[in-house]
Structure 1
Amino acid sequence: MKGAPSPSESVKSAAAIKGTVCGPAGPRYGRPSDRFGPPMALFSEPLAFLKHDLEHLESFTPDHMTLNSAFELVATATDFFDDESKREAALKPILRGLFAGQNEWQKPTTDGAAKPDGVWLEGSFAYLIVELRNEPGLEGDPFLQGLAVYSKIVTQPEYTPYLGQSNVPAILLAIAGDCLVVSTAVFTDAMYADKLLLTWLHLGPYASDNVLHVARVFMAINKSMERLRELYKSLQRVPRSSPRAKALWPNPAVDPSGSIELPKLEFFCKVNRADGAELPVIDEENGRHAMYLARMQTGTSTQVVFVKFAVKYREDAHRLLADQVPPLAPALHFCARIVGGVYMVVMEYIPKSKGQSIDPHSSPDSSPVPEVVHRDVSKGLALLHGQNLVFGDLRETNLLYLLEGEGRVLFVDFDGVGQDGVDRYSACLNPGAGLGVHRWQVMEKVHDRQNLGRLMERLSRRMSWNTL
């Protein structure tokens, strides 16, 4: 951004860091706590597989050349240098040997807004950005500086024609003394980043294990870099006048060694977390979640579906209720874990014209019939409890009231379902949610029954108030 501080200046003081992160164009990476977004693995197949590979490093077997370079890197990083230029001079040839591809060091961007320590390029596209620090804690955070460099790079004029066609994924490598951080970044409606791995570059008694670990890390990065090079080669072959791809939307990937086939989806918008309605503009609050609308093709027909990505999801509980006659949950079309460690859940979409949350804050005009709510919620809980499952988050926001006919209620969120007496509530459970339980408490069926009582009390007070 014009007038914004340089990446090196943006990380040299607490005020500069806050201004860099909290500004309108600042990165969403979990700091402060309300600035985050969906996992990067949803938006880029190369970054998805990097996350997967870093979590399965045992699958890599380094050759002797990679091990030699990894050993040299660790030994060099643990040394002391008088200044960063000397550390860079020592590490640069090692990193060049570890990573294939065209690279440049200390070369300013076209407009001079940034000068990365090291950058790997495919044509004009940067896909690996390296930032070095002499010691952790001195002269700013190299991870954050790498993010600032990335933001400067993607606003260069040569990127402009491609921003609608790609979310310009990149890997960020930060080394401060003997600390190594591997991160990823994409640009959709804003800049998002994930820290994937932090490791210490040590020798000592566990030198063999440490060097082997580092060698595997660099093998995983190289594998992802190859995928990124192919991505950017193909992007530059596409005529700039061709239809623009929707870089805002997910591009989920499945493990090619598995047998899962993803449904054919065309994402077209996010939904409002509060009421499930289409969201024409992605605001700060709704930029955090991973809930979308998409057109799903089945044979010759197409239907609009609701798609969410969740760290955990109880498919069995959802299908149990969805398979009832009449259903007690939206139809579930697909549910499977995808690369990146999240579940992709595709279900029936019910627009506001046909069904609304019974939460008065999101649907102030809806008037659910208490008897219908009690009937259907009691039936749903009885089915779940019969399988020793606890719904765990029985609130208005997780119940949908169908407006057609005499009215029905659907359960719409199965992220929090757990096994009675075994699973626990989230360690980040909101105490203000009114569930009558505390963080990490063991889940019990009685909690659902108690929360049904609380729900009916609130609904009764609401109906009494509306009749005044």
Structure 2
Amino acid sequence: MSNSSNHRFHLNCFIQGDPTTDIFHVRVSPTWKTQDLIQEIYRVYNSELGFGRELVLKKTRISLYQVDVAPHELAKIETLPENHLMQRIDQLKDYWPDPEKISHRRIQVLISVEGQDSMAKGFRAAPSMSTAAYHPRFKQQQENSNIPIYNGRPYERTSIPIQLFHPAFDFFTTELEKSDELIEDKCAIVEKLMFGSQALYNTETDRWSAIKGLLIGAVGHPIFKDSISRCQSGGVVTFTEPNSARKAYGAVVELNNEIGTGHSDPWVQSAQSYARYWSQLEMTELRRATRCPTFIISIAGPWMCVSGAVYLDRVVIQPLTDYVWLGNHPQQNRHLVRVTRLFMAISRAVSFLKEYYTPLIKPNAHLSVERYRDSPCITSLAGAINFTYIHRLGDPGIIRPIFEAITEDGRPIVVKFAQVYNLEAHKLLASQSLAPQLLSLDIEPAGGGLIMVVMELIGTSLDNYLDPTGPGLEPSARAQICEDVETALDLLHANNLVFGDLRPPNVLVVQGNNGSLRGRLVDFEWCGVEGEARYPAGMNQSKEIGWAPGAVKGSRLFKEHDRHMLDKLFSTSSVEDAET
């Protein structure tokens, strides 16, 4: 930035989509360029305001617009004035030649945080859905483009469970697992659909003509063609309201005549269709205001898969079922019941989405930008503690839903979603200041088969201290941390518990009251009763970790495993290896 401090003045700024109370100001110089102002906005917003949110420089791109509006007018701004876009090479005096005329009661800079919009622009410019779904083009898109689809192909394109982003997907799974009585009419039409699906057809058009009416009856919602530029899927379920130009997509349907016919997988085709439907310019307002939850129905001959989709700063698609056989058999009544229940779940889940979207697509509905689209939709603990997510914690290359957040009263916390968690073991150590203090009193279901655990945010991972670029540890500090971890393990072992995952990332280094460094254990997902609990099937068995003998996928946990890992963790050679 310029070193000039002459004639400094203040600009009131507002990020589109923030609460209208969160206006902030930055102190600037007339000779600064717009790019300098952008850097100062990042600094002030992240370090001085305490809003509990963060602009991540590497993940977000912001654009600035010169405005002159009162705070009460902010909610009325739906489209940004492109002719007022501030160019990064311009100086601020080009926009405010006379700073003394600036009103401190009005907003001068409106900020747009890009991410999702740039993704949508990319999809609008991309090849057609059918071309993009063709395997060589899809492979290129996933590996070398700016618009990959996070559908798990390859593994690096995997996202955290979509159930954390909207309750409709968990609602679907819950409905699927119900054992209530089947609806007679639904059972009859599903049976007809199954007979129709297992028939053989010459072409995809013939198959679609034969089963479309039956599929509509089974789904319980109209399915229409919605041909847009560069995209024509099998059909969509849309929601509309009278006298409103808005619409929402409840489901996208894609169909191939048989497995292996056509040039691509219908699951990939439907993902491409979803991305293009929601990337349309006319969908911008609703896309910015929601995570765009939609169900995807992919059909290949007599096989069908149901998936869920959300549009964050990336498109995420995840299967909610396997490919299900849509064929009948006279001695397989249970299968007919299963498929009928599947379509009942689809019908009810799409209705769930209709209830969600209806108030948002009414003609007079005001839509606010969803600033936290990349964070889970769960923002309270047992209804008693409300919090706001700041960012995801840990290595971005590791798919773990762990977030830093802040409570309404300003406490920094960690919100963790896990498949299993030994809350009682965590409580046991926390009572002796050997683990972070918990805000969670009980296990709280969070959707997608996950549970939510909330705890205080303290300390730094031991990993950071042992990293070659980290601060390192004095011998006395290392000895104290080792003693604390050993005390924690002794307490667990005395209660017949094994920690199981004693590695540097799961040891926290915190500063004690006297300034000394102390050790804490964190992450109790593997912790369990000795000889009963087992290592997870998905454990990383890399030789670099150096697990204890006998500690392998699916094997039982034993106390000697903890002792082996403790010796390895704090051995002189381990520390020397980390420092070299």
Q: Same fold (TM over 0.5)?
A: yes
Name which of structure 1's ranges 178-187 and 265-274 shifts more when overlaid on structure 2: 265-274
Alignment of 1:317 with 2:440, yes or no, is: no
1:204 alignment partner, SS class: coil
Alignment of 1:81 with 2:201, yes or no, is: yes
Residue 293 of structure 1 corresponds to 404
Q: CA deviation at 1:91?
A: 1.2
Counterpart of 2:353, as a letter, is L
Is the contact between residue 435 and residue 520 of structure 2 (CA under 8 Å) also seen in structure 1? yes
Residue 259 of structure 2 corresponds to 136
Residue 486 of structure 2 corresponds to 378
Q: CA deviation at 1:99?
A: 2.8
Give runs of aligned pairs for residues 177-256 of structure 1, distance below 5 A.
177-198=301-322, 199-237=324-362, 239-240=365-366, 242=368, 244-252=370-378
What per-residue deviation string (whole Å, max 9, x for no partner) do you get for residues 408-449 of structure 1? Answer: 111111112132112221222222222233222221110000
Residue 500 of structure 2 corresponds to 392
Aligned counterpart for 1:108 among listed residues 220, 223, 227: 227
The structure with the larger Rg is 2
Residue 119 of structure 1 corresponds to 236
Counterpart of 1:160, as a letter, is T
Compared CA separation, residues 363 and 187, structure 1 to 2 (3 A): farther
Residue 21 of structure 1 corresponds to 142
Is the contact between residue 184 and residue 195 of structure 1 (CA under 8 Å) also seen in structure 2? yes
Q: CA deviation at 1:20?
A: 3.5
Is the contact between residue 77 and residue 91 of structure 1 (CA under 8 Å) also seen in structure 2? yes
Residue 536 of structure 2 corresponds to 426
Residue 307 of structure 1 corresponds to 415
Residue 271 of structure 1 corresponds to 392
Is the contact between residue 387 and residue 407 of structure 2 (CA under 8 Å) also seen in structure 1? yes
Q: CA deviation at 1:361?
A: 2.6
Is the contact between residue 162 and residue 240 of structure 1 (CA under 8 Å) also seen in structure 2? no
Residue 152 of structure 2 corresponds to 30
Q: CA deviation at 1:465?
A: 6.0
Residue 111 of structure 2 corresponds to none
What per-residue deviation string (whole Å, max 9, x for no partner) do you get for residues 224-278 of structure 1? Answer: 1111011111222474464645222211399xxxxx934443333223314xxxx
Q: CA deviation at 1:39?
A: 0.6
Name which of structure 1's ranges 80-89 and 334-343 shifts more when overlaid on structure 2: 334-343
2:212 alignment partner, SS class: helix
Alignment of 1:365 with 2:471, yes or no, is: yes
Name which of structure 1's ranges 186-195 and 435-444 shifts more when overlaid on structure 2: 435-444
Which structure has more relative contact order (CA 8 Å, sep 6+)? It is 1
What per-residue deviation string (whole Å, max 9, x for no partner) do you get for residues 107-150 of structure 1? Answer: 312xx121111100012211111111111122221111111100
Residue 557 of structure 2 corresponds to 443
Consecutive unaligned residues of structure 1, counting only runs of 5 or more, are 255-259, 275-283
Aligned counterpart for 1:40 among listed residues 147, 162, 166: 162
Q: CA deviation at 1:187?
A: 1.0
Calculate the TM-score normalised by the size of structure 2. Answer: 0.71
In structure 2, C-alpha distance between the alignment counterparts of 1:36 and 1:319, rounded to whole Å: 32
Counterpart of 1:168, as a letter, is C
Length, aligned pairs only: 438
Q: CA deviation at 1:359?
A: 4.7
Is the contact between residue 129 and residue 273 of structure 2 (CA under 8 Å) also seen in structure 1? yes
Compared CA separation, residues 131 and 322, structure 1 to 2 (3 A): same
What per-residue deviation string (whole Å, max 9, x for no partner) do you get for residues 138-175 of structure 1? Answer: 22211111111001111101221223321000000111
Consecutive unaligned residues of structure 2, counting only runs of 5 or more, are 1-122, 241-246
Compared CA separation, residues 392 and 363, structure 1 to 2 (3 A): farther
Counterpart of 2:140, as a letter, is G
Is the contact between residue 398 and residue 412 of structure 1 (CA under 8 Å) also seen in structure 2? yes
Residue 342 of structure 1 corresponds to 450
Q: CA deviation at 1:357?
A: 4.7
What per-residue deviation string (whole Å, max 9, x for no partner) do you get for residues 1-48 of structure 1? Answer: 2442222223333x1231233333222122212221111110101112
1:422 alignment partner, SS class: coil
In structure 2, C-alpha distance between the alignment counterparts of 1:359 and 1:270, rounded to whole Å: 22
Alignment of 1:402 with 2:510, yes or no, is: yes
Aligned counterpart for 1:453 among listed residues 548, 554, 567: 567
Is the contact between residue 124 and residue 276 of structure 2 (CA under 8 Å) also seen in structure 1? no
Name which of structure 1's ranges 86-95 and 402-411 shifts more when overlaid on structure 2: 402-411
Counterpart of 1:49, as a letter, is F
